Amino acid sequence: MSAVERNGNDKRSLDYISDKCVGCGICTSICPTESLRLGPVLPIARGLVDMDYVSINKNSCVLCGLCASACPFEAFQFKINDENIKDLDAYPQWKHSASIDNEECLYCKACETACPQDAITIKRELPKRSNLVIGEIEINKDDCIYCGICEEMCPPQAISITRDKPLDRDIKVDEDKCVYCLVCKRACPVDAIKAACASCSYGEYDLNPEDAKITGKAILQEDSCVNCGWCQEICPVDAAHVIKPFEGEISVNIEECKGESCHACVDVCPCNAASIVDDKSSIEEKFCILCGACSNVCPQKCITIKRDKMNLENIRSKSWQNKLSGLMAGK
């Protein structure tokens, strides 16, 4: 984190949070004093260069806060008298968002697996297996020859045999693990096992629905989320909802694309929206947030982004409106 701070009539400070930056270049394109410089994004993304995506010229920065207002990733934090402009009515506010409805969520972890920023954590508590599988099992230890066949064949490894001495033997069944599949009963060479599966006999009618209930909580880390929409797309019950920072379209000039020999777009995309298909770049628009990182690093300049709408509201300054409207131009 690098900071610019000055005291005058107001105390103003600008912090750059490198962990949130994706190297999109939005801030550098709108800075009115050209105090922000975009570094070599592709080598940084590939781990070849250890430096921040953006550097700040502290001598020329006028601490206007435009970069902090325009950054959809909150990589800049601008404060006036120690108050973040996100909380001030006079400054623009982003309306992009992501949320997961815990009332609808099945806690299947599909969103957690798909999230490119690891911003989702699913904590769940599964029902007890013994509540879902009902049955009885009994081993006649007088008839048992302790051959170990049942122990070896038990799918959930619920049977254990101890043989401390030749005649000091024991066999036990962990009924919390047992699923009453009857494999042990069928495999026993001396018919020492009696078992029955009530669930198989009576089906679901004998089970209490509450015993099968899965409880949990979906935790979305907003600081890490880039509002790409993967969670919304993959959720089987529409519990995830996403509003992206920009609306528009992205296109790739396939004839100019170098594909697998380059894959710069794949390396920098924060959304896992870019991939190489048939040796050419392919970008899934439904996951793209139109940040422009891929367009910036493409050596062939074959990626074009057109933003039609920016979900940034409360822009009161005409000069800021003019600057921000430049983000709507195709690039």
Residue 202 has pLDDT above 60, yes or no: no
Query: Is the residue at 83 inside a domain?
Result: yes
Cα gap 139→132, rounded to integer Å: 22
Does 149 fall in a domain? Answer: yes
Whether residues 80 and 105 fall in one domain: no
Q: Which residues of 93-108 are buried (b: 16+ CB within 10 A; e: fewer)?
A: ebebebbbeeeebebb
Q: Are residues 148 and 186 in the same domain?
A: yes
Query: What pTM does this model have?
Result: 0.80
If asked whether residues 231 and 323 sit together in one domain, one would say: yes
- State the Cα–Cα distance between residues 236 and 124, nearest whole angstrom: 17
pLDDT of residue 3: 79
Same domain, residue pair 227 and 323: yes
Do 175 and 243 have their domain in common? Answer: no
Q: What pLDDT is attached to residue 297?
A: 95
Residues 248, 320, single domain; the answer is yes
Round the CA-based radius of gyration of the chain to a whole number and report it.
30
Tens digit of pLDDT for each residue in 217-269?
999 999 999 999 999 999 999 999 999 999 999 999 999 999 889 999 999 99
Q: How far apart are CA 242 and CA 230, in angstroms?
A: 9
5 pLDDT above the threshold of 90: no
Confidence of residue 164 (pLDDT cuts 50, 70, 90): confident
Percent of the chain with pLDDT over 90: 79
Sign of CA dihedral 43, 49, 50, 55: negative
Say if CB 92 and CB 22 are below 8 A apart: no
Instruction: Estimate to the nearest angstrom the gap between the alpha carbon of 90 and the chain centroid.
Output: 32
How many residues are recorded in the chain?
A: 331
Nearest to 124 by CA among 218, 239, 219, 216: 216
Q: How many domains does the chain have?
A: 3
User: How far apart are alpha carbons 170 and 153 in whole angstroms?
Assistant: 17
Domain boundaries, position 293: 97-120+223-328
Domain presence at residue 216: no
The pLDDT of residue 204 is above 70: no
For residues 33-58, give the mean pLDDT.
95
Q: What does the pLDDT average to over 83-99?
A: 93
Contacts of 237 (CB under 8 A, 6+ apart): 104, 105, 106
Tell whether the model's pLDDT for residue 330 goes beyond 60: no
The pair of three-digit structure tokens given for residue 114, joined into one six-digit string: 């798909």
Answer yes or no: is pLDDT of 37 > 80: yes
Residue ranges of the alpha helices (H) in the chain?
26-30, 41-45, 66-70, 110-114, 129-132, 149-153, 183-187, 198-202, 230-234, 264-268, 293-297, 318-325
73, 206: one domain:
no
Count CA atoms closer than 13 A to 237's CA, side-chain side.
Answer: 12
The pLDDT, as a whole number, for residue 52 is 95
Note whether 103 and 86 are same-domain residues. no
Identify the CATH number of the domain in which residue 67 sits: 3.30.70.20
Q: What pLDDT shows up at residue 203?
A: 52
- Confidence band (pLDDT; 50, 70, 90) for 49? very high
Say whether pLDDT at 139 is over 90.
yes
Average pLDDT over residues 99-115: 96
Average pLDDT, the chain: 92
328 pLDDT band, cuts 50/70/90, is confident
Is 218 a domain residue?
no
- Beta bridge partner(s), residue 139: 193
